[in-house]
Amino acid sequence: MPYCLVTPLLLKYKREALEEGLPLIRPLWLVADVDVALPVQDEFAIGDEIVVAPVLHKGETTRE
């Protein structure tokens, strides 16, 4: 995602974190259906709009 698109979102969620006490980096269960998101341990959200799902295994470049 291009820097010019990410920066405004980070600033938006930083402001939300300061004003409302919500974390900038959020567990998925905070922004999605708890039953589906609770077992997911290797993904997280930045605010409500960006889901980060890192590639964890050497040699892989994508994940499902």
* Whole-number pLDDT of residue 37: 83
Residue-range domains of the chain with CATH: 3-52 (2.60.40.1180)
pTM: 0.71
Q: Round to whole Å and give the CA distance between 4 and 9.
A: 9
Task: Kindly report, residue by residue over 15-33, the tens digit of the pLDDT.
Answer: 999 999 989 898 888 888 7
1 — pLDDT class (breaks 50, 70, 90): low
Contact 42, 53 (CB under 8 A): yes
Percent of the chain at pLDDT > 90 equals: 23
C-alpha distances out from residue 46 to 4, 6, 57, 58, 60, Å: 16, 10, 22, 24, 23
The pLDDT value recorded for residue 49 is 84
